[in-house]
Structure 1
Amino acid sequence: MHAPRPPFPFADHDASRPVIWTVSVSRLTGLLGDVIPEFDRRARIEQINLGFEEAVALINQRLRGEHCDVVIAGGSNAAWLRSRLDVPLVPIQANGFDLMEALARARRIAPRIGLVTHAGDVPTLASFQDSFGLQIEHRRFVTREDARDCIADLRANGIEVIVGTGMAIDHAEAAGLQGVLLYSADSVRQAFEHALELTHTLARSGSRPARTRRRDTQRGDGHALLGNSPAMDVVRQHIALYAPHESTVLVSGETGTGKELVARQLHASSGRGGRFVALNCGAITESLLEAELFGYSDGAFTGARRGGRIGLVEAADGGTLFLDEIGELPLPLQTRLLRVLEEREVLRVGATEPTPVDLRVVAATLQSLQQRVQAGQFRRDLYYRLAALHISLPPLRARRDDIALLVQHFFRQLRGIDAPLDRRALATLEAADWPGNVRELRNLVDRLRIHWQPGEAPIDHARLLALAPELGGGQSVGLPLEGEAGKPSHEQLQQLLASHRNDREGMALALGISRTTLWRWLRAAGLG
């Protein structure tokens, strides 16, 4: 067995590697020590040989000045830590092979075996008893006192050997019984693989570690909802009212109005310690979306990675899952999402046992979900579940008084200067329709700040129209807005493709919409 390791035993402190802390007591500590060297090059790993209250106190104290991506723990320790840490947790979970191997070892010690596990059922136990003719008494515990009582009860019933978690084994040996640890090196390896996959999943989704996220929130400019208009005051009031509650929130609004910003504000003000995980439901094909959202188990399909993969639902455990363009979620996956919301558990693709999750879901839509419900394209029960609380974002043309403030903010953010526009140019911006809303405005400011150089005269009306001809009656002004009268017509889209010479990125920029939205429009028009 390897001895417990000192904190961060790496000389280089390579910041590119994820940081994993393992939390364990008793026999599991030694098993972790055996496996950790296999992952030294892929992660910076530290063992914390404490449990329960002591582990929580130490980890929370260290997180004030140190960084950790994922915590790994087993059994009751994992259940205790899950809701008490501001960092994702991956549990060490015994599989059927672990159980079979542990029972075989126990059978060589004594014929009557006690199995002591934390909460939940062991689904393969009945088949093992029938197949091997074993006499097994199964007990489940939640607290340390429960575990001690389970061992005492089994001992009084003539049980001589205990198979169980580390805590159960400790109590068994204290009571004079022999113990066999339920976990194996393979189950520990799978936990490390899942922890590493979790860090990669969070990186793909654009989420940040909790420590960095709090710093961004305190800074206040990256995810701020700017605007002094009455409409924005109402939005901020709703965010403050809804944030502390666990109910799902549906955020609606046209493209570019800031739906993800609202979701991030809800998360930042919620007090939830986990991460903000975002997914655009319209940007991934159905076959990939299922695995990305719900994860998959080992051998779920051809090409599935060994040990399976954690999904974004599990990645958001303890935090907030933001589902953008929820109206694009395929019907079969709507049923699975409803189960997550109702049961607070997720079933990976190919798995037989669900995993409990504690998360808050915020969904966003630029479509009318009521219309999709009536058309049979969206589940009515899921719609009602998602719309428990509702925030509607106003379009930019409904809060024109905020445009000057936003222009000034974007110039300072992108260039570090005050907005170099004269009064007439600013009035032109305030009078525009902005079909792409705040996103379109920011993209335009990005274009202006590249063209304007220090020492030049302020941008006047004529130069503004030269740099942004769409403001003077170009194709991007006056198009039907997505989510209102409808999308641009087939002919308009053809004209835009021709004028932009099939440059779809430039076309999306001119329209002030995302490339995903443009792709969906073109596909629906048969131009994709």
Structure 2
Amino acid sequence: MSIRLPRPRLPDLDPGALPVIWTVSVSRLTGLLGDVIPEFDRRARIVPINLGFEEAVDVIGQRLRREHCDVVIAGGSNAAYLRSRLEVPLVPIQANGFDLMEALARARRIASRIGLVTHATDVPSFGSFQHSFGLDIEHRRFVTREDARDCIADMRANGIEVIVGTGMAIDHAERVGLPGVLLYSADSVRQAFEHALELTQTLARSGVAAPRRRAPARSRPTDQRLLGESPSMQQVRERIALYAPHDSTVLVTGATGTGKELVARQLHAASGRSGRFVALNCGAISESLLEAELFGYTEGAFTGARRGGRVGLVEAADGGTLFLDEIGELPLPLQTRLLRVLEEREVLRVGATEPTPVDVRVVAATLQTLESLVDAQRFRRDLYYRLAALRIALPTLRERPQDVPMLLEHFFRQLGQRPSPLDAAATERLCGYAWPGNVRELRNLVDRLRIHWRIDQGALSLAQLQSWLPELLPASGGAVVPDSAALHAGPAPARPSPATLQQWLVEHQGNREQLAAQLGVSRTTLWRWLRHPV
């Protein structure tokens, strides 16, 4: 059983800058959504629409003329009906094996003769599940409302005493006097919200998402320079200038927080390519969504495919640069498809028979050692050699401590404080810190110091530094080192057990970014390990 981790309380965000999610539901699912929505209302602006089918399509169509929506969430037959009739992406609420087992257990407490009634897209593996556990349960699928009503009537006539199913199935069951148990759980609803948020983030970063009105937000730093005068950083800038004019693929390697996406953006800016810079984190979106988002799909490619199909991110980057972060997380089947894009300069949408030519330069990034993934048969050898035509290796901040004072000055200046308020002793201590989170960690540290420090306090001293950053700089000096030897980052970090991860997370006081840095993996990888225990 998966473990739900407590979500840290986040600061209030500008509602105009949040993604907009509409939930569409009727019957029992409306109540379940109402229970879960408060868990996500700080991460998205959520609008419930308690309608279904034709009524929902009409209302959504009217609202879209004057309002913005990033993604719709719906379940069961309602989701299947809406998906091919809306002009916005739809994420279905899908029951999993745990939902099914829990629902059947509840139904068994009501009566012994159980009927399972689902939409045609729900619980596709129930046959093998039923055979494995020796269950004597009648399972019927429906497509239309009339199908659902006929299934329930037939089951009642055959002596079924309780119905497990979707909201529509339960409604029909209760109308004929049969008790019903909802198939979906709160966890399946949470999973749909997480997928919806992943989708909005991916589309927003790629520029594919539709524009929307945004409330005025605090301006953010726009300086995209690679700072540092150390020999290693000078070499990185020389490599960027040398590689930028060429179309060859570039593989950028480096630990988390070293600036891999910044290198990719500089390669694009100096390339002279007229197309867009499109970024995708291969580990930040579920595999079920990744293929369609990356390669696009044609109308009718699968149940619920949008009318007219959709352009994938490869096509969206035509004439420009496609940045694939965490390329080591790309599933093997999609690695084969990406290799074809690189070699043939064409992309085949899901469901298409004719490829589309593309002129796209790919920049890939990884914090893992791809050679070890190749040896473990988790990454295609031919794709690895194709991606590594040109390589840029980013140094860790620990390897260039002489750049720390410059970076401190830069980030304090970005936040409106110049010069740096740190005194010599505090600066020297930070130059000697191990920086497991690299430049990203330093940037976040400066932001915290800016909040604590006031100009009337004079220079920021070593004592204040130790007081405000106790977990990073203990009084004894040096960086915090994990007790467990398994935390030592290797070329390809092994995945710890769920119990070990939970223990380390407690030791780090719930700070996932700090734990990810110590493990030598990205925050997205750590999030996935915690969310999907082995």
Alpha-carbon distance change, 277 to 255 in structure 1, aligned in 2, over 3 angstroms:
same
For 2:513 and 2:230, how far apart are their aligned partners in 1?
32
2:264 is aligned with what amino acid? A
Q: Is the 8 A contact 1:295 1:311 kept in 2?
A: yes
Alpha-carbon distance change, 419 to 487 in structure 1, aligned in 2, over 3 angstroms:
farther
The match for 2:439 is 438
For 1:524 and 1:342, how far apart are their aligned partners in 2?
34
1:319 aligns with 2:320: yes
1:519 aligns with 2:527: yes
Q: Give the C-alpha shift of residue 268 in structure 1.
A: 0.4
Over residues 472-504 of structure 1, what are the superposed CA-to-partner deviations in whole Å (9 max), with x where a residue is unaligned? Answer: 359973344645474696687444422455464
The match for 2:254 is 253
2:526 is aligned with what amino acid? L
Alpha-carbon distance change, 486 to 420 in structure 1, aligned in 2, over 3 angstroms:
same
Alpha-carbon distance change, 207 to 378 in structure 1, aligned in 2, over 3 angstroms:
same
Q: Which secondary structure state, in structure 2, belongs to the residue aligned with residue 470 of structure 1?
A: coil
For 2:349 and 2:297, how far apart are their aligned partners in 1?
5
Alpha-carbon distance change, 264 to 442 in structure 1, aligned in 2, over 3 angstroms:
same
Over residues 345-385 of structure 1, what are the superposed CA-to-partner deviations in whole Å (9 max), with x where a residue is unaligned? Answer: 11111111111100100000111111111111101110000
1:204 is aligned with what amino acid? A
For 2:479 and 2:530, how far apart are their aligned partners in 1?
15
Q: Which secondary structure state, in structure 2, belongs to the residue aligned with residue 364 of structure 1?
A: strand
For 2:349 and 2:208, how far apart are their aligned partners in 1?
24
Q: Give the C-alpha shift of residue 462 in structure 1.
A: 1.4
Q: Which secondary structure state, in structure 2, belongs to the residue aligned with residue 471 of structure 1?
A: coil
Q: Is the 8 A contact 1:201 1:315 kept in 2?
A: no
For 1:517 and 1:382, how far apart are their aligned partners in 2?
21
2:376 is aligned with what amino acid? A
The match for 2:265 is 264
Identity of aligned residues (%): 66
2:481 is aligned with what amino acid? G
Question: How do residues 83-162 of structure 1 correspond to structure 2 at under 5 angstroms?
Answer: none
Q: Is the 8 A contact 2:327 2:365 kept in 1?
A: yes
The match for 2:131 is none
Q: Give the C-alpha shift of residue 208 in structure 1.
A: 9.8
For 2:206 and 2:361, how far apart are their aligned partners in 1?
18
Q: Which secondary structure state, in structure 1, belongs to the residue aligned with residue 302 of structure 2?
A: coil
Question: How do residues 408-427 of structure 1 correspond to structure 2 at under 5 angstroms?
Answer: 408-427=409-428
Aligned residues: 322
Question: How do residues 181-200 of structure 1 correspond to structure 2 at under 5 angstroms?
Answer: none
For 1:425 and 1:525, how far apart are their aligned partners in 2?
41
Q: Which secondary structure state, in structure 2, belongs to the residue aligned with residue 205 of structure 1?
A: helix
Alpha-carbon distance change, 444 to 488 in structure 1, aligned in 2, over 3 angstroms:
farther
Q: Is the 8 A contact 2:398 2:435 kept in 1?
A: yes
Match among 469, 477, 482 for residue 480 of structure 2: 477
For 2:285 and 2:233, how far apart are their aligned partners in 1?
32
Q: Which secondary structure state, in structure 1, belongs to the residue aligned with residue 368 of structure 2?
A: coil
Question: How do residues 85-484 of structure 1 correspond to structure 2 at under 5 angstroms?
Answer: 204-207=204-207, 222-473=223-474, 477-479=480-482, 480=487, 482=489, 484=491
Q: Which secondary structure state, in structure 2, belongs to the residue aligned with residue 427 of structure 1?
A: helix
Q: Give the C-alpha shift of residue 469 in structure 1.
A: 1.4
Match among 487, 498, 506 for residue 506 of structure 2: 498
The RMSD of aligned alpha carbons is 3.2
Alpha-carbon distance change, 397 to 524 in structure 1, aligned in 2, over 3 angstroms:
farther
For 1:266 and 1:239, how far apart are their aligned partners in 2?
6
For 2:203 and 2:528, how far apart are their aligned partners in 1?
25
Unaligned stretches of 5+ in structure 2? 1-60, 67-199, 210-219
Alpha-carbon distance change, 523 to 459 in structure 1, aligned in 2, over 3 angstroms:
same
Q: Is the 8 A contact 1:207 1:277 kept in 2?
A: yes
For 2:501 and 2:201, how far apart are their aligned partners in 1?
35
Q: Is the 8 A contact 1:239 1:266 kept in 2?
A: yes
For 1:485 and 1:300, how far apart are their aligned partners in 2?
37
Over residues 218-262 of structure 1, what are the superposed CA-to-partner deviations in whole Å (9 max), with x where a residue is unaligned? Answer: x99621100000000110111011000010000001111110011
Q: Is the 8 A contact 1:433 1:478 kept in 2?
A: no
For 1:304 and 1:488, how far apart are their aligned partners in 2?
36
Alpha-carbon distance change, 516 to 220 in structure 1, aligned in 2, over 3 angstroms:
closer
The match for 2:136 is none
2:527 is aligned with what amino acid? W
Q: Which secondary structure state, in structure 2, belongs to the residue aligned with residue 373 of structure 1?
A: helix
Q: Is the 8 A contact 2:490 2:520 kept in 1?
A: no
Q: Is the 8 A contact 2:206 2:313 kept in 1?
A: no
Q: Give the C-alpha shift of residue 414 in structure 1.
A: 2.0
Question: What TM-score does the superposition give when structure 2 sets the normalisation length?
Answer: 0.55
Q: Which secondary structure state, in structure 2, belongs to the residue aligned with residue 472 of structure 1?
A: coil
Q: Give the C-alpha shift of residue 338 in structure 1.
A: 0.3
Over residues 59-111 of structure 1, what are the superposed CA-to-partner deviations in whole Å (9 max), with x where a residue is unaligned? Answer: xxxxxxxxxxxxxxxxxxxxxxxxxxxxxxxxxxxxxxxxxxxxxxxxxxxxx
Structure scoring higher RCO (CA < 8 A, sep ≥ 6) equals: 2
Over residues 251-278 of structure 1, what are the superposed CA-to-partner deviations in whole Å (9 max), with x where a residue is unaligned? Answer: 0011111100110110000000111000
Q: Is the 8 A contact 2:472 2:480 kept in 1?
A: yes
Q: Give the C-alpha shift of residue 305 in structure 1.
A: 1.1
Alpha-carbon distance change, 485 to 370 in structure 1, aligned in 2, over 3 angstroms:
closer
Q: Which secondary structure state, in structure 1, belongs to the residue aligned with residue 419 of structure 2?
A: coil
For 2:201 and 2:345, how far apart are their aligned partners in 1?
20
1:478 is aligned with what amino acid? V
For 2:305 and 2:344, how far apart are their aligned partners in 1?
26
For 1:411 and 1:525, how far apart are their aligned partners in 2?
40
For 2:333 and 2:401, how far apart are their aligned partners in 1?
41
Unaligned stretches of 5+ in structure 1? 1-37, 44-199, 210-218
For 1:319 and 1:273, how far apart are their aligned partners in 2?
6
For 1:249 and 1:299, how far apart are their aligned partners in 2?
35
Alpha-carbon distance change, 482 to 318 in structure 1, aligned in 2, over 3 angstroms:
farther
Q: Which secondary structure state, in structure 2, belongs to the residue aligned with residue 455 of structure 1?
A: helix
For 1:510 and 1:387, how far apart are their aligned partners in 2?
27
Q: Give the C-alpha shift of residue 456 in structure 1.
A: 1.7
Alpha-carbon distance change, 485 to 514 in structure 1, aligned in 2, over 3 angstroms:
closer
Q: Which secondary structure state, in structure 1, belongs to the residue aligned with residue 297 of structure 2?
A: coil
1:477 is aligned with what amino acid? V
Q: Give the C-alpha shift of residue 342 in structure 1.
A: 0.5
Q: Is the 8 A contact 1:435 1:511 kept in 2?
A: no
Q: Is the 8 A contact 1:439 1:513 kept in 2?
A: no
Question: Larger C-alpha radius of gyration, 1 or 2?
Answer: 1
For 1:418 and 1:492, how far apart are their aligned partners in 2?
43
Q: Give the C-alpha shift of residue 507 in structure 1.
A: 5.9
Q: Which secondary structure state, in structure 2, belongs to the residue aligned with residue 334 of structure 1?
A: helix
Question: What TM-score does the superposition give when structure 1 sets the normalisation length?
Answer: 0.56
